[in-house]
Structure 1
Amino acid sequence: MANVAFLGMGVMGAPMAGHLAAAGHFVQVYNRTEAKAEAWVGKHGGAAASTPHAAALGCDIVMACVGNDDDLRSVCLGGDGAFAGMAKGSIFVDHTTVSAEVTRELAAAAADRGIAWVDAPVSGGQAGAENGQLVIMCGGAQADYDRVEPVMACFAKLTKRMGDVGAGQLTKMVNQICIAGLMQGLSEAMTFAQKAGLDGEAVVDVIQGGAAGSWQMVNRHKTMLAGEYDHGFAVDWMRKDLSICLAEAENIGAPLPGTALIDQYYKDVQAMGGGRWDTSSLMARLVKLSE
């Protein structure tokens, strides 16, 4: 059992930390809105801290799942940041989806303090976090990964080291590029089926077992056909992630023409008021175009 700090009690972080507590780890939590941290402690035990620094004190492992690059910097750096409270030889595990740039920056800052770094973005969404079924793609030294893997296993169905620091975030970028393309293809297919007068659910029953099948098709087609988009990962967050993908693609010289185009389609969805709709709402844009 480990002493673990968890920074960020959002829809992902709170259930992830809950699985740690249920497994017997002692968990100290921090959230920018302190009431969320206090509510988590009321449900799971452990302790709430008023700063990331305080949360990190005495912990072998500090985990974070926050919003973006700036949020991650704010919980890591400065007098109130986690690094200031972490002992040499401890490990910071970042579950946030952030840029490769901030990952390299903060990993170097951690190393200067004798703190190890593992970037460990997750896939599986809120349901995956709640059910302990996340997929975690990791970057960091093998020895550091080996130390934290049994702890991450509390809320994961699969963890894998992809390479050195930064490899986890790069793998998550690949994941988001795939999702963007899949969602656009599925949205076009479901719109086409409806316009052709077909029974969309019957179509999916036939094709999901073949080469066209995907997790997105199985789990999102019914709500898409019903015009319901309040499930899963929000468009606002997807655009944040795609901006990270596109910036890194420019940096390494990888062409992403389709991803860049779909990012603009998501911008159209935001303009429709769908910033908090889930990523399958690309279909709403096509329905509007077809009216």
Structure 2
Amino acid sequence: MQEAQQGGSAVDETHAAPAKGQPRRGLYVLPSLFTAANIAAGFYAITQSIQGSVTQQAYFDRAALAIGVAVMCDGLDGQVARRTNTTSAFGKELDSLADVITFGVAPAVLAYIWGFRMIPIPAHPLMLDKLVSLGVAVCFLFLICGASRLARFNVSVNPQPKNPGRPGRKYFVGMPIPAGAGVIAAVVHYFHGSPIDDWRMSLLWVGLIIGTGFLMVSSWRFWSGKEVGTDGKKTYRVFVLIAAIGTLIYLDSEDMLMLIALGYLVSGVVARLAYSWGRGRRRAAGLPA
């Protein structure tokens, strides 16, 4: 322990002022508080999903909203850590574990119970059993894809998207897991938590879950938004835009959240298709792809 002689007495370094440019130790707690809120929202969403039923649809809706709140908390903890210069290895690992719970387990449980468990028994019960088993498989697939997406993000040094545009902090490689969970939550909230009661709709639900899982583990380009707010001159514009979007969500959360979630999902698909189409034209013209 370092000591400083001051008037013949030693001063404990824990009481000394932090070095210039070094954040106070208490600031390191701030990002972890948002991460803890993320975990709490995920646990709450799981409990609400379990309690949901055909006659208690509000539980499903509350689970979806909790996941939506967790998406905001996940964005805030990273912003707080970067702006206060309090990023740490502990915070990174805690955030990854929180994401597996809140954006992996919680939406998978919600997707399974809401999309498969509430279907009335048809004339052929065996068909329902097979559909429920299929639901278990695809929801587990969603969870595995999300966990794999997180693992790849943690070990990647300089991931290269296979879509147009230069690689960098502006883009994610694959759809991030909070966005994948947001798609599940937005659809459930759009229907006010009313569970699927038709096996044909469940098959469409299977397709959406599989597609979302694929996009998370793909190498396609998705906008990261990390450059937003880095230019001080445009900060007020970002603030006005966020306030406007927040107001629209408050006025019509069902339509706005569905539009945002599916719009983000489709953006990566459209960018990939546009890149493939442009590359085909360049090859046909004899230009380098």
- Structure with max Cα Rg: 2
Q: Compare relative contact order (CA 8 Å, sep 6+) and give the higher one, 1 or 2.
A: 2
Q: If the length of structure 1 is used for normalisation, what is the TM-score?
A: 0.23
Q: If the length of structure 2 is used for normalisation, what is the TM-score?
A: 0.23
